[in-house]
Amino acid sequence: MYLIENPFYLLKASPKDNRKKLLELADEAAFDMDSIKANESRSILSNPRKRLEAEISFFPGNTSMGKKIFSSFRSKKYDLTNMKNVWKLNSLSYANLIANLINKNNSDFENIYLIRLLIKTFNEFNLSEIKSLINEDRSTSGFPEVENNKDIEDQINSRKSFYLGCIKKYTSELKLNIYSSLLISLIEESNATKEPILLSGLVDSFELQFKQYVLTEEEKVTSIIENIKTMTSSDYSKSALKKLVIRLNKELREWDKLVQPIQLSTQKRGLEHIQSKNLGFKVRSLALELNNTHNERDLAHSITLNLMDVFQEVTTISDLSKKDSEVLKSSREEDKVISEVMEYITDAKKNAKEKPNQTFIISEKLISLCNPLLEDVKENHTDDFYCFISDRVALCLNGLAVTHGNKTKRFKESILILKKALTNAAEADTVELIEDNIKIYMKNLGLSVHDESRLNYVNDNFNETKRKIGKIGDFFGIVFGSIILLTWIILIFIMLPVSPGLSLFLGVILVVSIFANQ
């Protein structure tokens, strides 16, 4: 009931007026309005049960003041964008005033401010206080007091519907995206743990009003999901698939703009929006399929990140998406490591095939390249992944050792490579394979397969051989250098009688060379 339709307003009466006064006011009002309407208004106010709606819809406890304030606002004497309760109206009277001031002819700023104020004021309603206000007026006017709380409660619920109707008269003129943004801002501004009652009603009304539109947008999302599944069921173009995923993410964000106020409101009530949850599971299922079945980790991660952002207000989907994102991120990093290690392995195999005599050096290089990666994997990834990568390196070293031994017959070097492969082996089968190859090459060297000390001797002997070769090289270097020095000295003495200047020049060069090599 609007104020201008209220029997108290029509008769210019007060809730404190008795039956006699109401009769007089009805007779006077008959000169300004239809007499039937005047008598009908008097009849309503004279009936204790019927007048309750009029009392709740008026200014109980602030009778004369409320009417004057409303008249002032209607004549635009007050700034609606900065309205304050300076008159100290009780919450019911103040809410009635605010609701009646919401008008589609107001500016957007005025109406939005009034809506905020009405939501806040309605949340301050107190059933006992309202009942006391009504009964105080009735005790003065001589009407029986309201005893049943349910009667007051029913009227407050009726008021709530009226307030929502006042708000919807304005919001019905708004575009869907603007209305959605307004609701989101109203929900986010609410600091209360529990969502304001009137705001919940407004969101419920919004959901009902645009239900079909939201369903249409949801169908667009599900249609793209089906298109992606159809595309990946056979050979597909990666660029075409990427375009579809980009479109899916975009449509999902557009859909979310419409349902976000519903998601936020449902979350404030301690629940989850079922429709959003169901759609979220469909999108997540697609991301998992792209990752697990088609190895499209980048696209799956893109969908998951978008899902995590769009469904922040749906806890189940948000939490799952965060976990999926972490797993996919780790998988992408693992893919990078696998790719790098496999590149080193491929190069090592290729180089060993082209230069079999350099296989030992090639295996050393492979180990030096892979060790830093393996250390990082051991520290930052799962044990299973470390075992997988380390085992791949071990198998490659095993293959290099076998190729080297078979082609060059350098079994000692092959055993050294195999021993290093053994330190990387993680799978039991790999360990067994390498140990068998070590035994084979030990037999080829005439060593007992059970003689571990002789096996260590192979390694020590090989290193000693390299050391001796180095010493021999040093020896020959000294001898060769001495011969050259003696030659220079003889040459200087021969040239001395013939050309003293040239002999002196050669002597200087010899001294400089000796000092330069120190």
> Cα angle vertex 164, ends 13, 80, to 5°?
70
pLDDT at 402: 87
Tell me if 262 sits within 8 A of 180, measured CB to CB: no
Residue 195 CA to residue 188 CA, distance in Å, equals: 10
pLDDT at 1: 87
Q: How many CA within 13 A on the CB side of residue 106?
A: 27
pLDDT at 472: 44
Residue 151 CA to residue 141 CA, distance in Å, equals: 19
Q: Which of the residue ranges 322-326, 342-346, 407-411 would you say has the lowest mean pLDDT? A: 322-326
Query: Would the pTM of this model clear 0.85, i.e. be above it?
Result: no
Name the region of 457 (left: φ>0; alpha: ψ -120 to 50; beta: rest): alpha
Residue 392 CA to residue 340 CA, distance in Å, equals: 12
- Is residue 459 predicted with pLDDT exceeding 80? no
Tell me if 103 sits within 8 A of 74, measured CB to CB: no
- Is residue 253 predicted with pLDDT exceeding 50? yes
Name the region of 270 (left: φ>0; alpha: ψ -120 to 50; beta: rest): left
Q: Which residues 6+ apart lie within 8 Å of 517 measured at CB?
A: none
Q: Which residues 6+ apart lie within 8 Å of 216 measured at CB?
A: none
Give the largest Cα separation in the chain, rounded: 158
- Is residue 17 predicted with pLDDT exceeding 80? yes
Quick one: average pLDDT of 345-364? 89
Residue type, 401: A
Token pair, residue 260, equals: 């976000």
431 versus 324: the higher-pLDDT residue is 431
Residue in 420, 415, 323 with CA at minimum distance from that of residue 367: 420
- Is residue 504 predicted with pLDDT exceeding 90? no
Tell me if 421 sits within 8 A of 390, measured CB to CB: no
Residue in 517, 447, 456 with CA at minimum distance from that of residue 482: 517
Residue 60 CA to residue 58 CA, distance in Å, equals: 6
Give the domain ranges of the chain. Answer: 3-173, 209-332, 355-450, 468-516
Quick one: average pLDDT of 339-343? 84
Binned at pLDDT 50, 70 and 90, residue 473 comes out as very low
Tell me if 53 sits within 8 A of 4, measured CB to CB: no
pLDDT at 314: 84
pLDDT by residue (tens digit) across 152-169? Answer: 999 999 999 999 999 998
pLDDT by residue (tens digit) across 173-219? Answer: 888 888 888 998 888 887 766 788 899 999 988 888 888 888 998 99
- State CA 344 to chain mean position distance: 35
Quick one: average pLDDT of 510-518? 54
Quick one: average pLDDT of 353-365? 89
Average pLDDT over the chain, rounded to whole? 82
pLDDT at 462: 44
- State CA 325 to chain mean position distance: 8
Binned at pLDDT 50, 70 and 90, residue 476 comes out as very low
pLDDT by residue (tens digit) across 51-98? Answer: 999 999 998 887 666 556 656 655 656 678 888 887 788 999 999 999
